[in-house]
Amino acid sequence: MQHAILILAIACAAFVATMVGGLFAIALKDRLHLVLGFSAGAVIGVAFFDLMPEALQTGAVWGSRTIMLLCAAGFFLYTLIDRAVMLHTAGEGEHCHHNHTRGWMGAGSFSAHSFLDGFAIGIAFQASQAVGIVVAIAVLVHDFSDGLNTVNVVVRNGGDRRMALRWLVMDAAAPVLGAGASLLVNLPESSTALILALFSGFFLYIGASDLLPESHHAHPKLLTTIATLCGAATLLFATQVAG
């Protein structure tokens, strides 16, 4: 019972961290190119420094090749989905709808990742309290970036403030739902690794093919590149500290 209360309390803290990150992105709308640059580095950093290493470590039973193949599958699956959306709306005068569709695809991916974050907290506590605390620190540290990234991907693709806030609330609530779900099931660690590998491919595509080019296209300045490197460095530092 005490573990359940602790897990849900940490998940609520993740809710707050995600909301703060998203509101921070909205407040800096006039400096969106810098926020997008930071966000691109953070998204790519999540894939390289958090999801893939965790998938490789916890999914050793599958082998590193299988994990990396799933990462590639996630990247190209997201590519196919994104291109299908573009082809469906091309030439139909529905540019705004097309952007909104890409926006909710990206935001939905972040929300699913946040759900897995909360789920991972609960599963980690099933192993031991020490492992659970380490995983919780990692989740709390980068949930700020998750909120920021969710708002950015919606705004970047034509969403307004209201739509961004709706997706932000969904993303913030996702770890709470994931933590609650973890109390009801006992998922093998190796299966979680496969999901993490798939989502690492999703995030690589979102960061490298959407956020990164957009941040530099309108403002090809050194400061934008520095913001990207800072985003990646922040996630690297966070995962090193948490790990």
Q: Which residue, 100, 121, 112, is CA-closest to 183?
A: 121
pLDDT of residue 173: 93
Q: How far is CA 54 from CA 135, 190, 197, in A?
A: 10, 11, 9
Residues 186-199: tens digit of each pLDDT: 777 778 788 888 88
pLDDT of residue 142: 63
More confident residue, 131 or 155: 155
pLDDT of residue 75: 94
The three-state secondary structure class of 106 is helix
Three-state SS string over 20-38 comes to HHHHHHHHCHHHHHHHHHH
Residue for token digits 């897995």?
116
- Euclidean distance between CA atoms 219 and 222, whole angstroms: 9
Mean pLDDT is highest, among 61-75, 137-151, 190-204, for 61-75
